């Protein structure tokens, strides 16, 4: 199967020669790690079957968050943690989009503007939900930054999962939303979000680098009902631990050109895009985040500093629930009488009789400077 690493090996040197001086350290690291992932360059181990002559070589993963071959286990663990933290209430899914007129500025100042995009969205929502004309309470918010379209185009926006209610007053009682559409008026939220971004850019000395018309237009804040939030977590997990493109979407790499599949977001129809390999790498690398940037953030009741209020919210909602939790049950053995496989001693995939034993640890063949 064609892999992103194949394209980086073939075209990475050319891309580095043309644009290497403009790359972020995180982008340089991503190019190196994607090629080295699960190869002898990172070391590994050898297992041998105790029944036949089979030897199995396993190489370490790079663990780079932009590598398509890493983070499957992390995705599952993250989902389990977030599902365990879901409050038993209704949710909304919001999407705050940075206007096209500001994307060039965002590309040049990624850490600042990505952070501003997330904090401005949260601050606008916190201020309006605290207003007694609307909710008059504090909701919980989980925000995830996303920078790409299905065609790998640059489109920074923030998805935010928000509780349809919050804690109010000194006694911190749970107040559900009484508004059918959303907790607060959409236009008021959009305009306050715009104002928060403008203030942030002014403080950073970047306001003069923006076109005046962008501050007069209406900004896009999309709102939709999200049920209990569980399915939205599955959706958000794609952006937390997946990269802009996965290997399964790569169709062809020939004559210096890459063809990949995507689904049109408006029509839902399958599409193909063919790019010069260097242009393809550029389109991919624009979504590699700055080193250390946190693309998942929690606000309001979900903030790590508000764990006591979060516990109160859960207590209120659980007490209000009509159905008690089901009693705990002992795990069921699906194959009674049969020994359960030990993952530390995997069965040989060739003879299916013997067990693979660790016989050698492989040192890394090389590391990046």
What are phi and psi for residue 147, nearest 5 degrees? -120, -5
In 10 A of CB 307, how many CB atoms? 11
In 10 A of CB 352, how many CB atoms? 10
What are phi and psi for residue 334, nearest 5 degrees? -70, -20
pLDDT of residue 336: 39
pLDDT of residue 70: 86
Determine the Cα–Cα distance for residues 36 and 42; give it in Å rounded to an integer.
7
pLDDT of residue 342: 55
Q: Residue 167 — pLDDT band, cuts 50, 70, 90?
A: very high
In 10 A of CB 332, how many CB atoms? 6
Helix (H, G, I), strand (E, B) or coil at 323: coil
From 45-49, 272-276, 285-289, the region with the lowest mean pLDDT: 45-49
pLDDT of residue 255: 96
Q: Residue 266 — pLDDT band, cuts 50, 70, 90?
A: confident
Dihedral angle, C-alpha 184, 186, 190, 193, nearest 10 °: 20
pLDDT of residue 345: 73
pLDDT of residue 335: 39
pLDDT of residue 191: 97
In 10 A of CB 115, how many CB atoms? 17
Determine the Cα–Cα distance for residues 83 and 81; give it in Å rounded to an integer.
6
Say which DSSP state 21 is in: G
Q: Residue 278 — pLDDT band, cuts 50, 70, 90?
A: very high
From 129-143, 213-227, 269-283, 329-343, the region with the lowest mean pLDDT: 329-343
Summarize the confidence of residues 335-355 as an average pLDDT: 68
In this model, does residue 334 exceed pLDDT 80? no
Determine the Cα–Cα distance for residues 192 and 174; give it in Å rounded to an integer.
25
Determine the Cα–Cα distance for residues 135 and 177; give it in Å rounded to an integer.
6
Q: Note the pLDDT tens digit of each residue in 20-64.
A: 999 999 999 999 999 999 999 999 999 999 999 899 988 999 888
Q: Residue 169 — pLDDT band, cuts 50, 70, 90?
A: confident
3-state SS, 329-349, equals CCCCCCCCCCCCCCCCCCECC
Determine the Cα–Cα distance for residues 359 and 350; give it in Å rounded to an integer.
18
Q: Report the candidate in 269, 246, 244 with the shortest Cα–Cα distance to residue 148.
A: 244
pLDDT of residue 182: 87
pLDDT of residue 346: 85
Determine the Cα–Cα distance for residues 186 and 192; give it in Å rounded to an integer.
10
- Give the orientation angle of helix 72-85 with respect to helix 230-241, to 10 degrees: 150
pTM, whole model, 2 decimals?
0.86
Please enumerate in sequence order all residues whose Cβ is within 8 A of that of 119, keeping only pairs 6 or more positions apart, or say none: 196, 200
Q: Report the candidate in 81, 303, 311 with the shortest Cα–Cα distance to residue 174.
A: 311
Determine the Cα–Cα distance for residues 219 and 68; give it in Å rounded to an integer.
33
Summarize the confidence of residues 91-119 as an average pLDDT: 97
In this model, does residue 104 exceed pLDDT 60? yes
CB 157 within 8 A of CB 98: yes
Identify each DSSP E strand in 88-212 by its residue range.
Answer: 91-97, 140-148, 154-163, 165-168, 173-176
Q: Report the candidate in 286, 24, 252, 271 with the shortest Cα–Cα distance to residue 152.
A: 286
């Amino acid at each position: 199967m064609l892999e992103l690493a194949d394209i980086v090996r073939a075209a990475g040197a050319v891309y580095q020669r043309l644009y290497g001086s403009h790359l972020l350290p995180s982008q340089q690291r991503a190019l190196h790690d994607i090629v080295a992932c699960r190869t002898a360059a990172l070391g590994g181990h050898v297992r041998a079957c105790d029944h036949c002559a089979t030897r199995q070589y396993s190489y370490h993963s790079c663990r780079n968050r932009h590598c398509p071959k890493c983070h499957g286990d992390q995705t599952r663990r993250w989902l389990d943690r977030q599902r365990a933290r879901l409050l038993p209430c209704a949710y909304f899914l919001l999407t705050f989009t940075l206007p096209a007129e500001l994307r060039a500025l965002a590309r040049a100042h990624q850490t600042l503007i990505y952070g501003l995009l997330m904090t401005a969205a949260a601050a606008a929502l916190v201020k309006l939900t605290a207003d007694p004309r609307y909710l008059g309470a504090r909701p919980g918010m989980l925000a995830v930054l996303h920078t790409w379209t299905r065609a790998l185009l640059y489109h920074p926006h923030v998805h935010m999962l928000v509780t349809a209610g919050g804690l109010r007053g000194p006694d911190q009682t749970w107040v559900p939303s009484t508004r059918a559409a959303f907790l607060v008026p959409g236009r008021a939220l959009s305009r306050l979000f715009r104002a928060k971004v403008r203030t942030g850019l002014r403080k950073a000395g970047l306001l003069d680098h923006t076109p005046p018309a962008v501050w007069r237009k209406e900004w896009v804040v999309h709102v939709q009902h999200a049920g209990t939030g569980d399915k939205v977590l599955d959706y958000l997990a794609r952006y937390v631990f997946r990269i802009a493109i996965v290997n399964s979407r790569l169709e062809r790499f020939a004559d210096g050109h890459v063809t990949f599949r995507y689904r049109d977001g408006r029509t839902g129809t399958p599409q193909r895009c063919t790019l010069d390999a260097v242009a393809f790498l550029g389109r991919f690398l624009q979504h590699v985040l700055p080193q250390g940037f946190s693309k998942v953030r929690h606000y309001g009741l979900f903030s790590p500093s508000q764990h006591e209020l979060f516990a109160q919210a859960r207590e209120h909602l659980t007490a209000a629930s009509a159905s008690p939790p089901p009693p705990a049950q002992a795990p069921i053995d699906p194959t009674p009488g049969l020994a359960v496989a030990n993952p530390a001693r995997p069965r040989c995939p060739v003879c299916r009789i013997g067990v693979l034993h660790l016989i050698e640890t492989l040192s890394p063949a090389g590391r990046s400077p």
